[in-house]
Structure 1
Amino acid sequence: GGPSSFLNGSGAVGGSLNMITKLANRDEDTFEGRVSYGRYDTMETSVGFNKALNSGDGPRHYARLDYSRTSTNGYIDRQENGAGNLAFSLLSDINDQLSHTLAIEYLEEKEDSPYWGTPVLQPAVGTLHIDKHNRFNNYNVEDGRYEQRTRWLRSITDYRIDDSNQLRNTFYHYNGQRDYRNLEVYRYNPGNTAIARSGGYRQRHDQEVNGNRVELTHQGQLFGLASDWAFGVDYNRNQQTAYPLSKGAFDSIDPNGFQPDHFLDIPGMDAPRAKGRSTNTNTTAGFVENRTRLTDQLSLVTALRYDHIDFDVVDHVTRAKLNRRWDAFTGRLGLVYDLTSNISLYTQYSTSAEPPGGSLTGASISQVGDFDLSTGRQVEVGSKFDFLDGRGSATAAAYRIVRKNISVPSSTVPNTTEQAGQQTSTGIELAASFKVTPKLLAAGNFSWVNAEYDEFNETIGGVVYSRKGKTPVNIPDRVANLWLTYDLAPGWQVGADARYVSSVYANTANTQWVPSYTVYGLSMTHDLDQHVQLSARLRNLTDEVYARFIHQTNTQYYLGEPRSLEVAVQWRY
């Protein structure tokens, strides 16, 4: 996300997820890879080749092939996962001005008996706890399943008009199919002697995205000042169809010894697959960004984006249809000031807009009909600086984010959302690294945030509750990390790390919360030569039992990984 679509995608304030895959390049031929093995038979194998296919005059071609495979038996009983990813790209320099990149990726993943969390002990009020004796139990059915198959195709054409102007056209295609077949909800009885299982859920997602983006960059002058521009248009069509089937109560089991049973033992789950609803989201966007140097030290950054969103949803059960259209202008205004060669200051104001539920929405007709466009605005100030002759570097930022009409998970109805009127987040982020001695490096970061609902009336059991002033679920107000690395000898390095996460609320009423936790780790690396490195990493040194996530509707811990050791060899030639 981010208002600068040609840099970071589109639509959101507060952060961005930038997925960068390796593409063929003009560097020297390379062969690189990594093989690792860890506790719970966790294995990874990944290899990549980059090679020039020809030389001499005329068109030049470069190819890259990457393959990776991961698998694990999982630290939860019966949970096994395997995933394979294959990527190929071909870069062709047609002439000095024109080049083309074709990139193709395919991913296939399968998880047996996926883990949907560990139920908390009753009464579920105040600090939530689990039965640590049964921390590795998997209450899903024996043949629970999650699978996904995706392909991603990009055709990227770059044309250098002259030294100041470049044109890029990117056609992209994504196709994904995801299948779920699980029993997902588990709850202790009042005496904590039995667990009621419910929430049988079978669904398929068919999704396809096709789009094209054209971008023009220009380096020039504006009123005699150095000024860089980027212009672009983007059109994409996101089609999704869901095939849902869900059931309620199934059985009650003894957590100290039980048979997981099978998915088809759940009444009604053998029904033929049928379409539930389909959505089509057509987005047409235009954007422009500028960076102008007002002085040698001060730069002005501006961006403006227009989105026309046409959203259709069809309910195949009731045969009802609905169409919604939205138009949104978003943008960014910022200043960057180089106080010295080692210190820069910046400030920024940005806005955002996105459809209800985001780009992967499975929203129902009633939801889309009642929901408004989600909007946001963000103000941020910060600094980046080096100190003590380059021995240290640091960043600091303070921000305030206001989001309106945002979708939040329902507290009572699984796999559905409600719309909150407004949420505000105010926070600071600090990060630094410092060379304590020529051999000892210390690095760390700290973040604090105060997030709360300003407007949110939640309906539970027909009663409306105001959540004004409450903190959203799963948001810690403090997170801190620390790393230490020490060079024992040439080619040998040891390290230690620590991560702290404060407690989080488990419900919107803020009457349930999950304790804070701290996990520690150790590592060692050894360079066999300039090409090959061996490493060992010990995670969760103290075997801390902690919840890395809490399921809001089901009130279930998603437990973090226990103590585990991983060894790896990595090479690059």
Structure 2
Amino acid sequence: MASESPVDLPAVTVQAQAVEEGESDLHTPTTSGSRLELSALQTPASTSSLSGAEVRGRNNLTVQDAVTRTPGISSIGSPGNGGTALSARGFTGHAATMQLYDGTRQYVGAGTVTFPVDTWSVARIDVLRGPASVLYGEGATGAVINVVPKKPFAGEIRNQLRLGYGSDDRRQAALDSGGSLSDELSYRFNVNQQASNGWVDRGDSDSVALSAALRWDAHDDLSFTLSHDHGDQSPMRYLGTPLVAGKYRESIRERNYNVADADIRYNDQITRLVTDWRINDTLSASNQLYYIKTQRYWRNAEAYRWQPGDTVERSEFYRIKHTQEQVGDRQTFTLDHALFGLDSRTVVGVDYNRIHFARQHDFASSFSDSVPLAGSGGGQYQSTDPLGYGPRERNLARQFSLFAENRTQLTERLALVTGVRRDQVHIQRDNLVNGSSADRSLSGDNWRAGLVFALTPDLSLYGQYATSTEGVSNLLTLNPTQQQFDLSEAKQTEIGLKQVFWGGQGEWTLAAYHIVKQKLLSRETPTSPTEQIGQQSSDGLEATLELALGRGWQVSANAALVRAEYDDFVEGGGDRSGNRPTDVPRRTANLWLNKALGGGVEAGIGARYVDARYADSANTAKVPGYTVVDANIAWQALPDVRLGLELNNLFDRQYATSASSDGEQWYLGAPRSFFVTADYSF
């Protein structure tokens, strides 16, 4: 018979409302670190959790804005990757930083993810740093981001209406509504419409995000939730600013050198049916059946190079359309049981996805034109592609996985958390131009093992070993040559401390890790054939502090240090061994201070720091580091009316978030702006 333990396994719950109210802490179950319903203190990994209230209370317009306020994650977004690419623990892009929506993986086509649109419908964001293929399959060497949407809840119907207006004619109209329709039925509905004229010439943008869910509690132990999420975006058609003689020139900050008829559009739809069934006191089951459809369209001149005489040469005239459909199902069973007389919980499951990806385009690779540096682009999109605009490829991927996780209480204070996963993926690529076809089956086996020692109920020491696998590029769009390579392999060792102190008023975490990724595409010499012989590694430290100081003061701070390098990497341009990978800052840090001023007034100010990065693997093009300060103030004018003022980039810092591969074209961050909001609850 298992003995009682002060570190109890948490109960499985299907209630969603609690996790979106107020702030999360180390005792709150995290959705990204495990499917075992473990809190951060019980998880042998570095995790962060942000409630929806925290996300929207810190001027975060996008999920990426929110995520980069957590330790060690920086943005490298641009229109080409949907504006959502991230850098974490020395690894970059969507192949290494996986994004989930309510636990469902969105497979990446051609390096692009475009959903969710904004943070209005977000109930919670959970971040897991480090390899996570054992949980979510191929990919995710650097981090996993799980965006949990607002969900139906039982009780009186509550509504929140927001209207907002600010700099560059930015405007917002949003509604959040939810509650019980009957004893068995509850709902949640969110809609958010935003638009702006933009901070660059011809920088207008607009978006609409809609989220609707209906929950039926058929029985005390059985519920069904049907949801549909829709996003339609036309982001700013700004592709970057050229350097002038290798230097940034402030006078052209607001210039937009794209063509006048440039176009970018993203349309995303996710429909899901979730079934939660508590079979008995020890066994529960959950099933998520989903359909995801994404359409993306670009028509731009994407490369700008300064030329003597103060002209800008434009090239890379690209017109591209992606159509992607994903049908999948995930079934899990959770069992509380005894293992060799010890308290234990096990999750077993199966995951299946069928993904279609089609691409049509024209690439005017040889065409270029020139526009004045002092002007602002213009002209019409032109293409010299002899094939014109039309279908080029059609890809099909079938993925099947078996996975299991277990947590066993070895002693009153020591717990073992383990996981295994087997992935099988079959990829087929059809070339619609010449009629050729290529296919390949790839498999990956991953596992992790971690120990958590509860020094006290509020202080945990942990250590873990985890593995991950990645395609040499995005699996959906591997070309026939890339298909011949195996999956890259990564392994991580990590140790850390987590503590809640001062009667729950404070918490801190510290993590140290070492990651090695092998089977990178590399060469013996710059002229040798490409082989899978390269290696990349990173070592790092991450620390966080959350503290309520009294008198209305609250502090949230974190910092990360990473030493990343190519251990063995040769490309056509030369030997890059010992160099730092592109888009990887050595240091990042965040600070946010809140103060309740009395009379229903609250104020906040925060700073985000990102160290310098290299734009190329040769480490010859450096992008400067930056610190950006944001602030806000809110007033509860009436019990049901709240007014707010956001000030972004308070000191009008001019900085680059990312750069082209040669570092001669920077994608700039937005200048100083304000935004006024009025919220009415009823």
- Relative to the length of structure 1, the TM-score reads 0.90
Distance 1:345 1:53, change over 3 A: same
State the distance in 1 between where 2:532 and 2:662 align: 16
Aligned mate of 2:229, from 105, 111, 125: 105
Deviation at 1:187, TM superposition (A): 0.4
Deviations 1:192-241 (A, max 9, x none): 62111111001110101011111101111111111011010111111101
Deviation at 1:363, TM superposition (A): 2.8
State the distance in 1 between where 2:134 and 2:315 align: 45
Contact preservation (8 Å) 2:622, 2:663: no
State the distance in 2 between where 1:165 and 1:259 align: 63
Aligned to 2:670, the other structure's residue is in SS state coil
Deviations 1:75-110 (A, max 9, x none): 111011111122221111222332211111222112
Deviations 1:514-538 (A, max 9, x none): 1121122222111224443222121
Q: Match for residue 413 of structure 1?
A: none
Residue type at the aligned position of 1:285:
S
Q: Match for residue 367 of structure 2?
A: 249
Contact preservation (8 Å) 2:367, 2:383: no
Distance 1:258 1:46, change over 3 A: closer
Q: Match for residue 166 of structure 1?
A: 284
Distance 1:419 1:239, change over 3 A: farther
Deviations 1:352-380 (A, max 9, x none): 12333235x433222323x3212221111
Q: Match for residue 526 of structure 1?
A: 635
State the distance in 2 between where 1:85 and 1:27 align: 25
Aligned mate of 2:146, from 18, 26, 30: 18
State the distance in 2 between where 1:133 and 1:501 align: 24
Matched, 1:540 2:663: no
Distance 1:7 1:96, change over 3 A: farther
Residue type at the aligned position of 1:493:
E
Contact preservation (8 Å) 2:537, 2:566: yes
Aligned pairs (5 A) from 1:267-416? 267-268=383-384, 272-359=388-475, 361-369=476-484, 371-406=485-520
Q: Match for residue 506 of structure 1?
A: 615
State the distance in 2 between where 1:387 and 1:149 align: 45
Distance 1:378 1:44, change over 3 A: farther
State the distance in 2 between where 1:28 and 1:346 align: 42
State the distance in 1 between where 2:189 and 2:280 align: 31
Distance 1:86 1:137, change over 3 A: same
Distance 1:232 1:267, change over 3 A: closer
Deviation at 1:283, TM superposition (A): 0.7
Matched, 1:74 2:198: yes
Distance 1:93 1:407, change over 3 A: farther
Contact preservation (8 Å) 1:308, 1:327: yes
Aligned to 1:25, the other structure's residue is in SS state coil
Contact preservation (8 Å) 1:98, 1:160: yes
Q: Match for residue 444 of structure 1?
A: 557
Residue type at the aligned position of 1:308:
Q
Aligned mate of 2:165, from 37, 44, 55: 37
State the distance in 2 between where 1:201 and 1:418 align: 30
Distance 1:64 1:493, change over 3 A: closer
Distance 1:192 1:165, change over 3 A: farther
Q: Which one has a larger percent strand, Structure 1 or Structure 2?
A: 1
State the distance in 1 between where 2:265 and 2:609 align: 33
Aligned mate of 1:96, from 210, 216, 220: 220
Higher CA-based Rg: 1
Deviation at 1:269, TM superposition (A): 6.5
TM-align CA RMSD: 2.3
Matched, 1:115 2:238: yes
Deviation at 1:349, TM superposition (A): 1.1
Residue type at the aligned position of 1:383:
L
Contact preservation (8 Å) 2:255, 2:375: no
Q: Match for residue 472 of structure 1?
A: 581
Contact preservation (8 Å) 1:4, 1:305: no
- Relative to the length of structure 2, the TM-score reads 0.76
State the distance in 2 between where 1:274 and 1:151 align: 24
- Structure 1: gaps spanning 5 or more residues: 409-416
Aligned to 2:406, the other structure's residue is in SS state strand
Distance 1:312 1:158, change over 3 A: same
Identity over aligned residues, as a percent?
Answer: 34
Aligned to 2:445, the other structure's residue is in SS state strand
Q: Which has the higher contact order (CA 8 A, sep 6+)?
A: 2
Contact preservation (8 Å) 1:357, 1:407: no
Aligned to 2:347, the other structure's residue is in SS state strand
Distance 1:65 1:485, change over 3 A: closer
Residue type at the aligned position of 2:465:
Y
State the distance in 1 between where 2:578 and 2:679 align: 49
Deviations 1:453-472 (A, max 9, x none): 11221114xxxx11111111
Q: Match for residue 414 of structure 1?
A: none
- Structure 2: gaps spanning 5 or more residues: 1-97, 99-127, 523-529
Deviations 1:368-395 (A, max 9, x none): 23x3212221111111113344443211
Q: Match for residue 252 of structure 2?
A: 134
Contact preservation (8 Å) 2:135, 2:421: no
Aligned to 2:310, the other structure's residue is in SS state coil
Aligned to 1:366, the other structure's residue is in SS state helix
Deviations 1:312-338 (A, max 9, x none): 111222222211111211111111111
State the distance in 2 between where 1:387 and 1:106 align: 42
State the distance in 1 between where 2:309 and 2:520 align: 36
State the distance in 1 between where 2:190 and 2:550 align: 39
Contact preservation (8 Å) 1:13, 1:352: yes
Most deviating of 520-529 and 386-395: 386-395
Distance 1:348 1:482, change over 3 A: same
Q: Match for residue 221 of structure 1?
A: 338
Contact preservation (8 Å) 1:506, 1:555: no
Aligned pairs (5 A) from 1:553-564? 555-564=664-673
Aligned mate of 2:321, from 191, 194, 204: 204
